[in-house]
Amino acid sequence: MRVALALLWKDLVTEWRSRDRLVAMVVFSILVVVVFQFAWPALEPDEMRRLASGVLWVTYVFAAVIGLGRSFAMELENDAMTALALAPGTRGWIFLGKAAATWLLIGLVQALTAVVFALFFRQDLLPGAAGLALVAGLADVGICSVGTLLSAMSVRSRFRDVLLPVLLIPTLIPVLGAATRASAATLAGDSPPWDALQPLIVTSAIYTILGFLLFDFVLDE
């Protein structure tokens, strides 16, 4: 547990000093929203609100890919992957510390993206903000869990910038499908439906448990 907390604190402090991942994710998210705004056809407010969740989650997932792609970059550049492998205790705690730091960063970027989206598309997201935050938080657990595992697997590859999204996005289809449906309901002013929250909870839990158990073998490779 102390290893996870130490890694979480280290990643957050390092990110606060450099802000390279955070700035890249925020700038990319804003650019995607701007592109969608220019390409968006004239729609009725209700129709636009119904399609808004898809735009948000397209932006969220590609920004997450950028953040996850850099999650082990510092350890690789400083040849610290061996030090991580030699850390005392179960290596799954290393996985949880890295995933938790990425979860916080992605959540911050998503909040900023939602504000920019509301301004550009003239949508009032405040009534469904709590539900949207709940859906995003649950979905981010799955995204960060499987993303951290795949990032550690691909970080030593010469084609890691291509390999990570190719592996990650197909595994996120259950998460993204449920998150989009739940977000659409919250943006319409309703509570997130249970039949959309249930797959988010189950899938995120499965990905977290698998990541915790398999991370030991990933570091050995």
- At 190, give phi and psi (nearest 5°): -100, 170
Helix, strand or coil, per DSSP, at residue 78 = coil
Contact 110, 189 (CB under 8 A): no
**Mean pLDDT calculated for residue range 76-80:** 64
How far apart (Å, rounded) are the C-alpha atoms in residues 84 and 77? 13
99 or 91, greater pLDDT: 99
Under 8 Å between Cβ of 55 and 117 = yes
Whether 63 and 28 have beta carbons less than 8 Å apart is answered as: yes
Q: Which residue has the higher pLDDT, 208 or 71?
A: 208
pLDDT the model gives residue 84: 64
Number of domains in the chain: 1
pLDDT, tens digit (0-9, with 9 covering 90-100), for 125-164 = 777 788 889 999 999 999 999 988 888 887 777 777 778 8
Q: Is the pTM of this model over 0.95?
A: no
89 pLDDT higher than 70: no
Domain assignment of residue 98, given as a range: 2-220
114 contacts 125 by C-beta, under 8 angstroms: yes
- What pLDDT score does 139 carry? 93
178 against 120, higher pLDDT: 178
Rg (CA), the chain: 18
CA pair distance 191, 139, nearest whole angstrom: 16
pLDDT value at position 79? 63
**Digit-coded pLDDT (tens) for 9-37:** 877 777 787 777 888 889 999 998 888 88
Whether 221 has a pLDDT exceeding 70, the answer reads no
- pLDDT tops 80 at residue 54: yes
Q: Which of helix, strand or coil describes residue 157? A: coil
